[in-house]
Amino acid sequence: MTDTEAKTTVSITVNGEAFEANKGELLIDACERAGVHVPRFCYHSRMQPVGMCRMCLAEVDTGRGPALQPTCMLPCSDGMSVDTESELTQKAQSGVLEFLLINHPLDCPVCDKGGECPLQDQTMSYGPGESRFIEEKRHYEKPIPLNDNVFLDRERCILCDRCTRFADTVAGDKLIHFMDRGNNTQVNTFPDEPFASYFSGNTVQICPVGALTAKPYRFKARPWDLDETVSTAWTDSAGARIAVQSSRNQVIRLLGIDSDAVNWGWLSDKERFAFEALNSEDRLTAPLTRAGDHLVPTGWSVALDKAVSLLSDTDPSRIGVIGGARLSNESQYAWAKLAKGVIGTDNVDAQLGDGLPPELVLGLPRATIDQTCTPGGTIIVCGPDPKEEIGSLYLRLRHAVVHDGAKLIELTPSATGLSPFATHSLHPRPGEIATVAAALVAAAAGDPAVAAGGLTAESIAAAAGIIDGPVSVVVGRASLAESADCIADAALELAAIPGARFLSALRRGNIHGALDAGMSPGLLPGRTTIASGADRFAEVWPSTPAGSGLDTAAMLAAAAAGDLDLLVLLGADPLNDFPGRSLAASALESVPNVIAIDMFVNDSIDAAADIVLAASGPTESDGTFTNLEGRVSVCCQRVTPPGTARADWMIASELSRRLGTDLGFDSIESIRSEIASVSPLHSDITEKALVDSVVEGLLIEGPGDLVAPSPTGAGPNIHDAYSLRLVAARSMYDDGVALRNSPSSRGLARSITVRLSPPDFDKIGVARGTVVKVESAGGQLLIPVEPDPGVPEGTAVLPWAAPGSPTNTLIDASATVTDVRVERA
Amino acid sequence: MSRFTPDNEAIAREIISRYPLPKSALIPLMHLAQEQDGWVTEDAMRHIAELTGTTPAEVRGTGTFYEMFKFHPVGKYVINICSNIACQLLGAENLLEHAEKKLGVKVGGTTADGLFTLEDVECIAACTEAPALQVNYRYRLRVTVEDFDQLIDDIRNGNARDIPEHGTLSLVRQSIPADRMAGIVPPEQAGEVPVWMSRNDAGEQN
Amino acid sequence: MPTHAYVPHAPGYVDNDGPKLITKRFPLEDSYTLERYEATGGYSGLRSALDRKPSEVHSEVRDATLLGRGGAGFPAGIKWGFLPPGKYPYYLVVNGDESEPGTYKDRLLMERDPHQVIEGCLITCYALGLAQCFLYVRGEMALAQERLSQALNDAYAAGYIGRNILGTDFSVDITLSWGAGAYIVGEETALIESLEGNRGRPRLKPPFFPAAIGLYGQPTIVNNIETMSNLPWIMNNGAEQFKAYGSETSPGTRLFAVSGHVKRPGVYEVEHGVTTFRDLFYGDNFCQGIREGHELKMFVPGGGSAPWFFPEQLDLPLEARPVGAAGSMLPSGAIVVMDETTDAVKAALRLVRFYARESCGKCTPCREGTTWEERILQRIVDGHGRPSDIELLLDVADNISPGPYPVAAHPDAGLDAIPFPPKQTTICPLGPSSVAPITSTIRRFRDEYEAKITKSDLIPVSAAPVEVES
Ligand SMILES: Cc1cc2nc3c(=O)[nH]c(=O)nc-3n(C[C@H](O)[C@H](O)[C@H](O)COP(=O)(O)O)c2cc1C
Ligand code: SF4
Ligand code: FES
């Protein structure tokens, strides 16, 4: 052992055996690592210990003779000796269990937790034989709803403070609390104020008894009937690790897995409960073909033949492929190969005009979540509200700032879920974020601060003053009404901060996998361009595209202009996803043919698809997922797809075969090995490596052949001095298909309002909630208005996809910013 | 209804200003709410949450821990009879039983006219003067059953002027003149060595 | 016969012969006013402190060996020395939450001499460089709050508190805060929680005592009202004079409240460590004996949490160490005397019920165990006890406080004393305190239990419903 190692450990004795514990490590954790399990209820390794259940008591000698101590509160110190099996320890353990059981109903046979209950298990191992308590137990009204999804049975609660501590210290949503005192203590919400937290489901997972249950799982199964697979959450790009549990070939529960690098066991409720959509009645179980206004079920071979004839009859340069972020890495590769290598079009874009240039995302120095959250570092958020869009990332960022002393500067158009703990919140005028970034960087470098983007020199100087330690920039699209160019330019300015690293906050499920698979014009798989990779791919692919194709905006424009003949929607809904509804609508109207591959019929498919091929979902086929750090983790099949729905890669293979070219894939492994062979960056992703790193995943590092782009110099195009600049931001519960098809979460979508700064609101002179007219050059909406102090003057904030009011009606995708007028209706 | 009145909101803000962090004022503010309405209403708790930057659940969670806060209406006079050991030794049980009969309510109950609520409480720090009780936290000591009847009659007849209505505790409020205040600031802004700590033997500044 | 007796405007206080270090103004009707305080030497202790270096003031208090009067009896001057250097701000929290059964000296000090408390606080803040002082008064003590509010307002106006006190560079604010009914808040870490606006639940200490991590996570001194009240006298008269009273290890005087079956119950200022229980109960200057026609059966020597004493312990001096060795404790100056008419089981039940009601609910053994103990005792008192209940009680108690529990000697039965302190499976001593009445009475009066207990374990129990809200 070297000297430096010696300083970080302390020697302790666990049940007579010597053990080297880490300095400061809690005794309960050290025991665990030494192979000795100490029973516990309140202790949770991801939260501050509170030492209140007293289950972890053990006889500990710190030099002053043995005494009972809660091992969850005791940092290891040199020479400490613990006996977890002594007579006194055992007496204390069985005493605590007896106390916990005197008021706990013995309804295990009908309790959801039965079979996986720490109280039940520990009673077997450490408990008294029978209860000597002959009085009546405590009674409460049976389960009360804490919110739409989570129910609390107070009779079963053992008051471990896990759920309340989670709400307070992890989520920051102090909406459940201990009430009353002593033996009457109970967990509850304030009357009529539900536990409205995006993270409420975590409390169900960490409850050590069956007191908290979640609607999607209640009474659905018994633990011993469950089959489980380790996988990756798919509703956003964080790549949270999950356990997918099924019973009778149906997914019925997802649990967070504690991955150190990613989600620490936590999930947003969207990640946790959106699996319900996969079980929806509206899932496609067979291909569809158009018969007039209707789409009718058909057989696969009819559908595939029709698709193949459309594909082969169309000039490849007049074919466009939009979407792909929903797919696994392997399916993305298969589709990239089909489109670019077989069909021969480079009009392929997995982003729907709501992303960032791939060269920026992949070409700037990238940060992992851990690097971003370095204690004492500085985090600059120049992107979406992670609380609304990437829940697991939000929890990590919040922890870094609230508990680990990281500093956070937000550079967002309006207040976000991070604002309450941001050290500085800068809200640049939409379109002017790059000038603010430039001013911030200059001030941090010691130049005198200047005013920019509606912000004073003082506020920029103050923020610049805290930039210190490792600097990470979270970069993404905060507002879909502000062009990608603005954000790209801002990021390029921030790249001048010495050592700055970037964490992408593109939110769409496997979008980073799609970029790595080359599903973007000009790219090939493995972070390479057509120019630099064509030779390499020529050996494996039938062909490579001659030059760079169109992105989604250009494809839609071309389609609308009659310059495209066939659109392939690969899990895409341009009408709702593209910032510019009128362009999307006219593209779909003008393009002669549309083929869709999807799990549901979305609005675009309904309007325009000729053929729909039914795809399997993320729990129905194997694959891998790449998260926003570039971390590859498995996403495994747990159940069979509904009806005849197929994996996306199989659909690609089959189309290719019918087009006369064998993609060469007969299994997911065969695709992975081809990826590893063509992409040096992916060469470490072997089957064994995936198994070995099933929890943490494998990080793909380095920009490959990509180089960050040059600034575009885009600035706002102000055309109406009286207008407000529009901010269109996504929210956790929007009108997306996943939510529409999740019964438990459907009701949670926010009602749509336009939010204005109080002074701008006052100018309109209407009451809060009055319906007003929001009008842009492109369209108008009638929606209620409300004041919001988190909105800066001169901007109007609208949620992106709220039910019934498509905000993208107002947006012109080709403009840098969208100006709107808000008037009495 | 039952948020703080403008006058009370001003008092609430003054109370908050005497603490380095606003949440510290939670208990005094709940007392103020109880002084205003006789009990702590939900709207008052919401208002307190707004004023102290907490959530209503936190306010209620804190409040329900403490015996004195009532979350439903109680009598105008809350009679707390101590039944702890010293009073028990000198007849508290008798007195309680008598009080139940006299008022026609059980412990915890409120008389139909809304005038009295009877409670059986823990030691009220008057043990040598047992049995003791408090009416709205004003003491009555060495209470006999006759004393008790007299007390009830006095209150009913308006002859117990030293007892304010339920909710009012201190009749005097602390108030710090602005020009006298040394300066109460959040802990992170108070991190310096106080000036007088560097004095020499003569008690003068070095 | 003594010349002095009860003071009408200070009910409970007995003005007797003996040194008066902290109650000398009690007999004056307007003792609580600034005018009277100044006229009787008030704030001269502060002036004397301000003439010295803060470190000298601290030394004077350390030299006086002023033991904390709130319970633990830890020397104030030494506790003050635990403040970690340089981690400003430091806070002073003064504990006026007095709720221990039998105790009420702090209430009288606050009601009768609020300026003396304030002066003590100022001296402490000056000596230690404290940023702010919080006076936390028990919620139910309306009069104490009134008197302290008035005193604070007057003292601010007169320049004793606030900015540039008495024209010097010493500045400090004192904030009056008050509780809302929770005994546990008297425990110092629970008090800090309460002062932060939280549920008053104790924090685990060690590893961190308030002097290191206290209010708002900052170093904090918590001292009792009576501890503070001694400081003006010490500043005026010096440590040496102070040590002329009481015993060597426990100098000065203390207030004792003696209640129950004595002829003259009351709050007495008593010389620490030299007076004995016998002096106090039987002396003419004190309680003047057990009430007419009765004799001493047992007594609680130090508030409800203390194991009980019996006639054999009467000659122990009122001092922590001998009392601890004899199996009990003396923390809060509260003595409850019981004569032979007292039902030991009922008396024990009443105290156990107190702990069950006052448990904060944080630790499982205390939250569940104290209620269970209460229900077993209640059953026994109600005539539904079972023979196995005595062992059950002792075992439930053992799961809260494992191992032999402190208890007085029982010479007749040949049993030795078990010295203080008890062990605990809980965070704070509240849960374990519930064990004191149980073990004290079972050891001494097992026959009284047995007499109440029915003969069979099989007799059904009428289940008493528990109070819970739905
Ligand atoms: C359950 C419990 C209740 C307590 N109640 C009080 C109290 O009411 N007043 C008090 O001054 N100290 C009380 N204490 C002691 C305090 O924790 C603390 O030791 C004391 O306030 C320190 O002041 P001192 O050093 O001046 O004695 C209590 C302790 C415990 C464990
Ligand atoms: S022993 Fe009782 S009062 Fe003390 S902390 Fe534990 S539960 Fe609370
Ligand atoms: S796990 Fe340590 S006290 Fe609960």
CB distance A759 to A802 below 8 Å: no
Residue C107 in tokens: 């209430």
Q: Is residue B196 assigned to a domain? A: no
Domain housing B86: 77-156
Q: ω into residue C206 within 30 of 0, thus cis? A: yes
| Residue A751: how many other CB atoms lie within 10 Å | 12
User: Which residue type, as a one-letter code, is found at position B120?
Assistant: D
Helix or strand holding residue A398 (H, E): helix A391-402
Residue C22 in tokens: 């902290």
Interval A178-193 mean pLDDT: 96
Res A733 pLDDT > 90: no
Q: How far apart are CA A561 and CA A318, in angstroms?
A: 12
pLDDT of residue C446: 96
pLDDT of residue B131: 97
Instruction: Quickly state the pLDDT bin for A452 (edges 50, 70, 90).
Output: very high
Whether residue B33 sits in one domain with residue B84: no
Identify the chains in contact with C, defined as 3+ C-beta pairs within 8 A. A, B
Domain-terminating residue out of B69, B86, B109: B69
pLDDT of residue A242: 98
pLDDT of residue C1: 42
DSSP state of B176: -
The residue in chain B having the minimum alpha-carbon distance to the alpha carbon of residue C257 is: B128
Cα(C75) to ligand 1 centroid in Å equals 13
Res B201 pLDDT > 80: no
DSSP state of A383: S
Orientation angle between helical segments A300-313 and A648-659, nearest 10 degrees: 60
Whether residue B99 sits in one domain with residue B152: yes
Q: How far is CA A481 from the centre of its chain?
A: 22
**Side-chain half-sphere CA neighbours of B53 within 13 A:** 9
Ligand 2 pocket member C130 (CB < 6 A): no
The residue in chain C having the minimum alpha-carbon distance to the alpha carbon of residue B129 is: C12
Residue nearest to atom 20 of ligand 1 (CA): C70
Domain ranges of chain C: 18-238, 253-339, 344-463
CB distance A76 to A21 below 8 Å: yes
Q: How far apart are CA B128 and CA B82, in angstroms?
A: 12
Residues with Cβ within 8 Å of residue A229, at least 6 apart in sequence:
A243, A244, A619, A636, A637, A638
Q: How far apart are CA A146 and CA A197, in angstroms?
A: 10
Interval C353-367 mean pLDDT: 98
Question: CA distances (Å), A581 to each of A599, A727, A814, C51, in order?
Answer: 22, 16, 12, 80
Instruction: Quickly state the pLDDT bin for B1 (edges 50, 70, 90).
Output: low
Whether residue B90 sits in one domain with residue B44: no
Q: Which atom of ligand 3 is nearest to the CA of A38?
A: 1
Average predicted confidence (pLDDT) for chain C: 94
Interval A730-744 mean pLDDT: 75
Ligand 3 pocket member A55 (CB < 6 A): yes
pLDDT of residue B62: 98
Cα(C188) to ligand 1 centroid in Å equals 6
Instruction: Quickly state the pLDDT bin for A219 (edges 50, 70, 90).
Output: confident
Q: Got the DSSP string for A466-483?
A: T--SSEEEEES-S-TTB-
Cα(A68) to ligand 2 centroid in Å equals 16
Distance from CA of B122 to the nearest CA of C (A): 7
User: Which residue type, as a one-letter code, is found at position A7?
Assistant: K
Interval A355-370 mean pLDDT: 97
Q: How far apart are CA C293 and CA C210, in angstroms?
A: 49
Ligand 2 pocket member C365 (CB < 6 A): no
**Side-chain half-sphere CA neighbours of C416 within 13 A:** 5
Residues with Cβ within 8 Å of residue A186, at least 6 apart in sequence:
A140, A154, A157, A159, A178, A179, A180
Whether residue B87 sits in one domain with residue B125: yes
pLDDT of residue A136: 86
Q: How far apart are CA C168 and CA C173, in angstroms?
A: 14
Q: Is residue B110 assigned to a domain? A: yes
Instruction: Quickly state the pLDDT bin for A741 (edges 50, 70, 90).
Output: confident
- Bridge-based pairing of strands C132-137 and C173-178 is parallel
Residue A435 in tokens: 């000038």
Ligand 2 pocket member C430 (CB < 6 A): yes
Residues from chain C that touch A91, judged by Cβ atoms under 8 A, are 398-399, 402
pLDDT of residue C463: 41
Partners of A67 in the β-ladder: A60
Range in A722-726, A778-782, B115-119 the model is least confident about: A722-726
CB distance A600 to A572 below 8 Å: no
Q: How far apart are CA A702 and CA A704, in angstroms?
A: 6
Res B202 pLDDT > 70: no
Res C456 pLDDT > 80: no
CATH at residue B23 = 1.10.10.1590
DSSP state of C140: T
Instruction: Quickly state the pLDDT bin for A221 (edges 50, 70, 90).
Output: confident
Whether residue B152 sits in one domain with residue B85: yes
Cα(B30) to ligand 1 centroid in Å equals 24
Instruction: Quickly state the pLDDT bin for A75 (edges 50, 70, 90).
Output: very high
pLDDT of residue C214: 96
CB-based burial of residue B179 (10 Å sphere; 0-12 exposed, 13-18 middle, 19+ buried)?
A: exposed
Residue A512 in tokens: 């980073």
Query: For a pLDDT cut of 90, what percent of chain C falls above it?
Result: 92
pLDDT tens for each residue of A680-694: 999 999 999 999 999
Q: Is A13 helix (H, G, I), strand (E, B) or coil?
A: strand
Q: Is residue B164 assigned to a domain? A: no
Domain-terminating residue out of B69, B96, B116: B69
pLDDT of residue A542: 96
Per-residue b or e along A108-123, where b marks 16 or more CB atoms closer than 10 Å to that residue's CB:
beebbbebebbbbebb
Q: Is residue B206 assigned to a domain? A: no
Global pTM exceeds 0.90:
yes
Range in A108-117, A458-467, B42-51, B117-126 the model is least confident about: A108-117
pLDDT of residue A742: 76
Instruction: For chain C, report the end-to-end CA distance as a whole number of angstroms.
Output: 59
Q: How far apart are CA A695 and CA A263, in angstroms?
A: 11
CB distance A272 to A256 below 8 Å: yes
Whether residue B123 sits in one domain with residue B83: yes
Res A133 pLDDT > 50: yes
Domain-terminating residue out of B69, B101, B123: B69
CB-based burial of residue B161 (10 Å sphere; 0-12 exposed, 13-18 middle, 19+ buried)?
A: exposed
Res C204 pLDDT > 90: no
CB distance A176 to A206 below 8 Å: no
Work out how many domains chain B is built from and give that number. 2
pLDDT tens for each residue of A654-674: 999 999 999 999 999 999 999
**Side-chain half-sphere CA neighbours of A449 within 13 A:** 19
Distance from CA of A258 to the nearest CA of C (A): 28
Residues with CB under 6 A from ligand 1: C 68-72, 74, 76, 95, 97-100, 184, 186-188, 222-224, 227, 428-430
Ligand that comes closest to the CA of residue A52: 3
- Bridge-based pairing of strands A250-256 and A241-247 is antiparallel
pLDDT of residue C470: 36
pLDDT of residue C459: 53
Res C464 pLDDT > 50: no
Give the residue among C159, C152, C193 at the shortest CA–CA distance from C174: C152
pLDDT of residue C462: 44
Q: How far apart are CA A553 and CA A579, in angstroms?
A: 9
Q: How far apart are CA A653 and CA A658, in angstroms?
A: 9
Q: How far apart are CA A603 and CA A577, in angstroms?
A: 10
pLDDT tens for each residue of A757-781: 999 999 999 999 999 999 998 899 9
Residue A422 in tokens: 């941001």
Res C78 pLDDT > 80: yes
CB-based burial of residue A87 (10 Å sphere; 0-12 exposed, 13-18 middle, 19+ buried)?
A: exposed
Q: How far apart are CA C356 and CA C434, in angstroms?
A: 8
CB distance A157 to A117 below 8 Å: no
CB distance A796 to A481 below 8 Å: no
Give the residue among C29, C25, C238 at the shortest CA–CA distance from C115: C25
Q: Is A239 helix (H, G, I), strand (E, B) or coil?
A: coil
Identify the chains in contact with A, defined as 3+ C-beta pairs within 8 A. B, C
CATH at residue B114 = 3.40.30.10
User: Which residue type, as a one-letter code, is found at position A642?
Assistant: P
Residues with Cβ within 8 Å of residue C257, at least 6 apart in sequence:
B127, B128, C12, C102, C103, C104, C105, C266, C267, C268, C333, C334, C335
The third-level CATH classification (topology) of the domain covering C253-339 is: Ubiquitin-like (UB roll) (3.10.20)
- Please indicate if any CB of chain A lies within 8 Å of the CB of C276: no
Q: Which atom of ligand 1 is nearest to the CA of C428?
A: 31
Res A617 pLDDT > 60: yes
User: Which residue type, as a one-letter code, is found at position A226?
Assistant: L
Interval B18-29 mean pLDDT: 98
ipTM, two decimals, is 0.95
Interval B50-72 mean pLDDT: 98
Residue C185 in tokens: 């808040």
Interface of chain B against chain A, CB under 8 Å?
Answer: 42, 45, 54-61, 64-66
Instruction: For chain A, report the end-to-end CA distance as a whole number of angstroms.
Output: 76
Task: Say whether domain C344-463 belongs to CATH 2.60.410.10.
Answer: no
Q: How far apart are CA A437 and CA A823, in angstroms?
A: 32
pLDDT of residue A722: 62
Architecture of C18-238 per CATH? 3-Layer(aba) Sandwich (3.40)
The beta-carbon neighbor of A179 closest among B54, B55, B60 is B60
Q: How far apart are CA A50 and CA A70, in angstroms?
A: 10
The beta-carbon neighbor of A175 closest among B55, B64, B65 is B55
Q: How far apart are CA B148 and CA B140, in angstroms?
A: 9
Orientation angle between helical segments B56-63 and B26-37, nearest 10 degrees: 80
Interval C108-133 mean pLDDT: 98
CB distance A680 to A525 below 8 Å: no
Instruction: Quickly state the pLDDT bin for A218 (edges 50, 70, 90).
Output: confident
